[in-house]
Structure 1
Amino acid sequence: MVQIIAKNWAFYQSINRDPDVISLCFDEPSLEEIKASFESRLPVWDKASEQWLCLTITLNETDEMIGITGFRVQNGIAEVGFMIQPKYHGLGYGTESLKALIKWAYENHGIQCFNAVVTEGNIGSEKVLIKCGFSLKDVIPNSYNIGGKLYADHIYQYQKITL
């Protein structure tokens, strides 16, 4: 995984417009919204950054980009997120990349607490979070609108235990 760069624009745009990826995440954004989101992720990231650290998930064998992952830090807590191309769903790449992201964030930046917000019904993402040690901390009913329908937000948390 490496931080997203300008030449990754086409991939970033396509994954943010793929109905099978975004259907339980958000309504399809406009091209301008995607471009603004992409550009906000391009500056070199450090722990004091307010923007998301956005990393591409790439297959080692083929160098094919299959998804993105990352987090943003607020008040010492990292909110994580990930999107993976549908043909790679269920193959363990989300779990592998999230575990690696958490390990890197902890070892290199001392981040010990991670949150994730998942839209009700996004069972695949919830399974990934649980496999990575997250637990459901809260459910906020009718908090997110996708396609004119209200969904609950499921709030997950992972706390790195240090001895």
Structure 2
Amino acid sequence: MKIDTDRLGMTQITAEDWELFQSLNRDSVVISLCFDEPSSEEIKASFESRLPVWNKTSKHWLCLTITLKDTGEKIGVTGFRIHDGAAEVGFLIQPTYHGLGYGAESLKALLEWAYQEHDLQSFNAVVTEGNIGSEKVLTKCGFTLKDVMPNAYEIGGKLYADHIYQCEKIVL
């Protein structure tokens, strides 16, 4: 499985991607508006749950590494899991590469691939209140805000609202 854009290549995560996955889940900038820093055991379990080969009937996340074509550097992960016929999307990108369009570019390609290869037509995402960068990526990719759930998620002892986004139509 490989998804390409002009600047990026995406392939399913492998055991060799442990350092990338661990660093993304430990970086305070990356996780500050996503979740509290997980324990080493939680990161390892999350990583290992994404390693089995993915297919449309899988219950685990399809997790793809995002690689810059021009340098070969792996800069993040993107993917989704299917629940009740809809794909919940998620992505984490190293802070050095925030604001350069890689999040939207990788997510658009992922949505197109999911639609063309697996006829997935319904996508959603949950974004923690204040994570403006992720909300911008989602809206660039055709998502709209459908609901706000106040005090739904706790990070660092503070309660945040969950912003629920949906995308029902893929524009190719």
TM-score band w.r.t. shorter chain: over 0.9
Q: Are residue 94 (structure 1) and residue 96 (structure 2) matched?
A: no
What is the rounded CA distance, in whole Å, between the counterparts of 1:75 and 1:146 in structure 2?
27
What is the rounded CA distance, in whole Å, between the counterparts of 1:75 and 1:122 in structure 2?
26
Q: Are residue 6 (structure 1) and residue 18 (structure 2) matched?
A: no
Q: Are residue 140 (structure 1) and residue 123 (structure 2) matched?
A: no
- Give 1:123's aligned residue: 132
Q: State the one-letter code of the partner of 1:47.
A: K
What is the rounded CA distance, in whole Å, between the counterparts of 2:57 and 2:96 in structure 1?
35
- Give 1:43's aligned residue: 52
5+ residue gaps, structure 1, are: none
1:134 Cα deviation from its structure 2 partner: 0.2
- Mapping for residues 13-162 of structure 1, pairs under 5 Å: 13-160=22-169
5+ residue gaps, structure 2, are: 1-9
What is the rounded CA distance, in whole Å, between the counterparts of 2:115 and 2:40 in structure 1?
34
Q: State the one-letter code of the partner of 1:151.
A: Y
What is the rounded CA distance, in whole Å, between the counterparts of 2:150 and 2:127 in structure 1?
12
Identical-pair percentage:
74
1:75 Cα deviation from its structure 2 partner: 1.1
What is the rounded CA distance, in whole Å, between the counterparts of 1:78 and 1:105 in structure 2?
9
Q: State the one-letter code of the partner of 1:115.
A: N
State TM-score, norm by structure 1: 0.98
Matched positions, count: 162
**Moved segments of 4+, more than 4 Å:** none
State TM-score, norm by structure 2: 0.93
Q: State the one-letter code of the partner of 1:19.
A: S
Q: State the one-letter code of the partner of 2:127.
A: V
1:104 Cα deviation from its structure 2 partner: 0.3
Q: Is the Cα–Cα contact under 8 Å of residues 89 and 125 in structure 2 kept in the other structure? A: yes
- Give 2:6's aligned residue: none
1:88 Cα deviation from its structure 2 partner: 0.4
Q: State the one-letter code of the partner of 2:133.
A: G
What is the rounded CA distance, in whole Å, between the counterparts of 1:46 and 1:75 in structure 2?
15
